[in-house]
Homo-oligomer: A and B are copies of this chain.
């Protein structure tokens, strides 16, 4: 019989692939100005540091690095990671697991916790890559509304009461896609609500160190007394996304279950990339590197915010204090999805906002990334978008 007879697993029903990954392919042409991805600036990628480090770790510990490693992580990295993460998250982390990018952290958490039909509360909008992950676990996604200070506590408690969710997925700092930061005074209450209703909080915090303005907030995890909060950290935005090194931290029982899941997901994260990140931590290379890239990103952010002031009347946008994204709401009636094709014809790309909403809609929104384009290119691309959206009115 031909392969046409093959039926794929039910979890793929309605799954068509990440819109961002598809847009990446569409815009992979020379001369494209991309505000679409979440890519670090090429100048922020430390190839000059990584090249000799890669050689050195292989020379010094090559037999261990090339051999099978423990699912629990490359031992030297596990040590430096714990010290780094406990300082960064601001509390002891009894369980911690290096993962193959924080994408894998989300996959393992869903594997550990989610039965088909379980409810996950998500921000509205939220990161579409992880929405797809949750959909592949056949979760029931219930969006919870935010205001300018992030998740609204009354809406959140109401949703917990109504839906008995298994998990809350939240990006508290410089959120993807909106750039918003969850207010400090809402963080402790979220940890408390999680314990009150028995809901695991997946606190996805990859942008935390990319702050250009304002005062850092404490993590939700640092307010967690019962272990319901799991912290997802990443080195993608501060060292390199191509290395695929992140971590998952929290109560040992949850981390242990994720470790079991990881055994049959990829056995362990590549030792070499763990060893390179380990050296960044041990040699104290991370902090000065972050300071340097933040300078450039701050300029890019402000350039893009300036350009947004010239967008059609009725446009609103966020003013993030860090991260990689600005969120734009155009006047009602403009649909950014069909307009993307026209933008790409003019060599500019963005992500239509509708993709970030668990239930769709909001066709007049878009996400803009500023980290991947130098300031003059930002001005050029934003000029083209301004014209395009003005014409579309």
Residues of A within 8 A of B (CB): 1-3, 5-6, 8-12, 15, 17-18, 21, 24-25, 37-40, 42, 45-48, 50-52, 54-55, 58-59, 62-71, 99-101, 103-104, 106-107, 111-115, 129-130, 132-133, 136, 195-198, 200, 226-228, 236, 239-244, 251, 253-254, 257, 260-261, 263-273, 276
Q: Are B51 and A58 in contact, with the CB atoms below 8 A?
A: yes
- In Å, the complex CA distance between A127 and B265 comes to 15
- Closest B residue, CB atoms, query A54: B54
- Whether A132 contacts B272 in the complex (CB less than 8 A), given A54-B55, A111-B11, comes out as no
Q: How far is the CA of A107 from the CA of B263 in the complex (A)?
A: 10
Bound Cα distance A253, B8 (Å): 10
| A68 B251 Cβ-Cβ under 8 A | no
Chain B residues, Cβ within 8 Å of A129: 263-264, 267
Q: How far apart are A239's CB and chain B's nearest CB, in angstroms?
A: 8
Name A70's contact: one of B6, B24, B239, B260 (CB within 8 Å). Answer: B24
Number of this chain's copies in the complex:
2
Q: In this complex, what residue of B is CB-closest to A28?
A: B70
Chain B contacts for A228, CB-based, 8 A: 3, 6
Our pick among B9, B42, B243 for the contact of A112 (Cβ within 8 Å) is B9
* Minimum CB distance partner of A271 in chain B: B242
The binding surface of chain A is classed by DSSP as helix
Query: CB distance A263 to B17 under 8 Å?
Result: yes
Nearest-neighbor residue (CB-CB) of A42 within chain B: B63
From known contacts A1-B196, A42-B67, A129-B263, infer whether A270 and B253 are also in contact, taking CB-CB under 8 Å: no
Complex Cα–Cα for A271 and B236 (A): 13
6 A-B interface contacts by CB (under 8 A): A1-B196, A18-B264, A21-B71, A21-B263, A50-B66, A100-B244
**Contact partners of A111 in chain B: CB under 8 A:** 9, 11, 136
Contact A67 B242 (CB under 8 A): yes
- The CA-CA distance from A76 to B5 in the complex, in Å, is 34
